[in-house]
Chains A and B, each alone.
Chain A
Amino acid sequence: MSSINKRAQQIMAEIISNKKVGAYHHITLSVGEIAQLIRPGNFVAIAVGGADSRMVLRRAFAIYKASMDPLDGGIVELVVAPHGSGSTWLCNAPLHSKIDMILPLGKAFGIPVEPVNALLVGGGYGSAPLFGLAEALKAKQCNVDMVLGASTASKIYAPQEGKRSTNSMIFTTDDGSLGIEGMVSSVIPELIEKNKIEIIYSCGPMAMLEAVTKISVEFGLQHQCAVEESMACGIGVCMTCVLPVRGEDGVARMLRTCIDGPVMEGSDILWNTGRTVPSEVWGA
């Protein structure tokens, strides 16, 4: 069960680029050799606000891409939405500032050994980690279709170079400002049938992950979703980021999404149980 990411290190990383892209910031950090240990689905935990910060907790951010750049060495790219005071601080961090970060954290997406037809579903900035995943799947000769949804066009994150790793890409927006008007779940069933999808990967808001899980169960497909629970530490000590998850023994436990996730099988999660502990949970 619990599998601590033994590769994690705490480092000071320099911001070498910080660009506004639509509603988000694309931030690139120089991290050195550790970039090679990062897998799609891993995340970073960042200390925010500087030395005298009144924000005492780390912020977790999904990794958009990690690579060894011939010029800059090991780099990590993040796509950050300036939602709260911590993410806003990071988005406003000046070029060359040093960021206290721990990486890589969490369980990565599982990559199939044989080529498969994969569907990647992203919501909002949740699309970010899917592009690295698409590259990894392509390298295994998988067929990769992608569906990205958001409330409006400026909240769709889909860089040009990302599209190269996919065979097809569909956008949905709640307001119809880009692609199909509606939610991602409205286009997925047809895609599954048409493209003979064998596995679904997803990342985005919990309501979307729950909706995708329903569809995956209907079609009997594996569904690896990267969940988003608020974390205080990112390294497994604070016990705040838990979700009720059913294990192989059929027993549901409150699992830490930072260590047992963020990537989890969607059908193992007891969805929409927020603010209660279901009675079937171990120790409840």
Chain B
Amino acid sequence: MSLPFNYSTSLGTTTLPNPILTASGCAGSGKELAQFFPLTELGAIVTKSIMLKPRSGRATPRMAETPSGMLNAIGLQGPGLDLFIENDLPWLADQGARTIVSIAGETVEDYAVLARRIRTQPGVVGIEVNISCPNVENRGLVFACHPDTARAAMEAVRRNVGGDMPIIAKLSPDVTDIVQIARTVVDAGADGVALINTLLGMVIDTRTMRPRLAQKTGGLSGPAIRPVAVRAVYQVREALPNLPIVGMGGITSGQDALEFVLAGAQAISIGTSTFGDPQAATRIKSELETLLIERGFSSFSDAVGYAHRAENV
């Protein structure tokens, strides 16, 4: 008799029963998806990126569908830290969900305050540091686009969070060398990286002859960006083979997820495909498990980074 497949994975000091997560900003508060499946089915729920103060987000139109993808310019609409701690986190904890809280700051000090308040909340198993949201007023404020600002934000979080809680830096693909940024955040104390955030894009409406989105630019997500994401995961894994990577970018099936695992992702986030199919994450979870078993893997961790093996293996 063969042993059951071991689907568990770890991100730093946190062990998860399976590697399938939501992507930040693609699971609402959790309540919206909970009517389609129990949130405990997933390795963890990654919340929308929370900021210190309530935020209305951007004007509409905020969204444009593109071939095999979409542009969004939500602009981090959310209740702010206080209401999030009061309402959203306790509810997730009641469900038994493992929660990775995504945080986004306008200043380095914001990141420090957010991390300090979040680390002691119930049900929180990790912190994602979103230093790469493209929908900010000043593109110069995308922390992940410059090694110095990326380092400052991560150091602020690390100073406030002990080693028992993993912190994961979410990086932007809109850089010349993502490996350099990954090295920088690891030096500053990150336990892992989330790859990739959306790519900055634009759609022009040929009827009005103006940019479709009110904010003009938006973040491109969906299957259209998948090869960019797989490449980023592969490159970072090659340079930093022991660094936990959360892979994401247009994953719609177990087959897609397997590409990321082979490239080196220790966990998988499901984002835009949830918009098209609320049960995408749980479906992908079972599809990926089947594919790994079919390929003879007895545990998930054996498959992580398997595409990097020598040619003759």
What residues make up the interface of A, taking CB atoms closer than 8 Å to B? 4, 6, 8, 10, 47, 54-58, 100, 102, 229-230, 232-233, 235-240, 242-244, 253-254, 259, 273-277, 281-284
**Contact between B56 and A233 (Cβ–Cβ < 8 Å)?**
no
12 CB contacts below 8 A, A to B, read A56-B68, A57-B63, A236-B28, A237-B27, A237-B278, A239-B57, A239-B74, A243-B60, A244-B56, A253-B56, A283-B53, A283-B78
Do A239 and B36 touch across chains, with their CB atoms under 8 A apart? Answer: no
**Which chain B residues numbered 49 to 107 have a C-beta less than 8 Å away from chain A?**
53-63, 65, 67-70, 72, 74, 77-78, 80
Check B63 against A232 for contact (C-beta < 8 Å): yes
Q: CA of A109 to CA of B72 in the docked complex: distance in angstroms?
A: 30
Q: Give Cα A16–Cα B54 distance, bound, in whole angstroms.
A: 47
Please determine whether A238 and B59 come into contact, CB atoms closer than 8 angstroms. no
B60–A229 CB distance below 8 A? yes
Given contacts A10-B278, A54-B68, A56-B275, contact A238 B63 (CB under 8 A): yes
Asked, given contacts A254-B57, A275-B59, whether A57 binds B65 with beta carbons under 8 Å apart, the answer is yes
Nearest chain B CB to A25 CB, angstrom units: 21
Instruction: Please report B residues at the A interface, Cβ cutoff 8 Å.
Output: 25-28, 31-33, 35-36, 53-63, 65, 67-70, 72, 74, 77-78, 80, 214, 222-223, 252, 272-279
Taking the closest CB of chain A, its distance from the CB of B77, in whole angstroms, is 5
* Secondary structure of the B contact surface, majority rule: loop
User: Are A254 and B77 neighbours in the complex by a CB distance under 8 Å?
Assistant: yes
- With the chains together, A145 CA to B57 CA distance in Å? 40
List A contacts of B54 (CB < 8 A): 282-283
> How many Å lie between the Cα of A283 and that of B223 in the bound state?
32
Q: In whole angstroms, what is the CA distance A276 to B77 when docked?
A: 14
Instruction: Note all chain A residues with C-beta closer than 8 A to B25.
Output: 239
> Given the known A-B contacts A239-B77, A254-B57, A282-B54, are A4 and B32 also in contact in the complex, defined by CB atoms under 8 Å?
yes
Q: Is the CB of A274 within 8 A of B56?
A: no
Specify which of A10, A238, A254, A283 is in contact with B80 (CB 8 Å cutoff). A283
Contacts of A238 in B (CB 8 A): 26, 63, 72, 74, 275
Residue of A nearest to B222 (CB): A56
Complex contacts, B53 vs chain A, CB 8 Å: 283
A242 touches B57 (CB 8 A): yes
Find chain B residues with CB under 8 A from A4 CB. 31-32, 35
Name B63's contact: one of A102, A230, A235, A275 (CB within 8 Å): A230
How far is B37's CA from A235's CA once the two chains are assembled, in angstroms? Answer: 13
Contact yes or no, B278 A240, CB < 8 A: no
Knowing A4-B31, A235-B32, A283-B53, the reply to whether A56 touches B273 (Cβ < 8 A) is yes
Q: CB within 8 A of B70: which of A8, A56, A275?
A: A56
Q: Are B32 and A236 within 8 A (Cβ)?
A: yes
A281→B59 CA distance, assembly (Å) = 11
A253 to chain B, nearest CB (A): 7
Q: Once bound together, how far apart are the Cα atoms of A54 and B226, in whole Å? A: 13
Partner of B74, one of A233, A240, A276: A240
Q: Find out whether the CB atom of A240 lies under 8 angstroms from the CB atom of B72.
A: yes
B223 → chain A closest CB, angstroms: 7
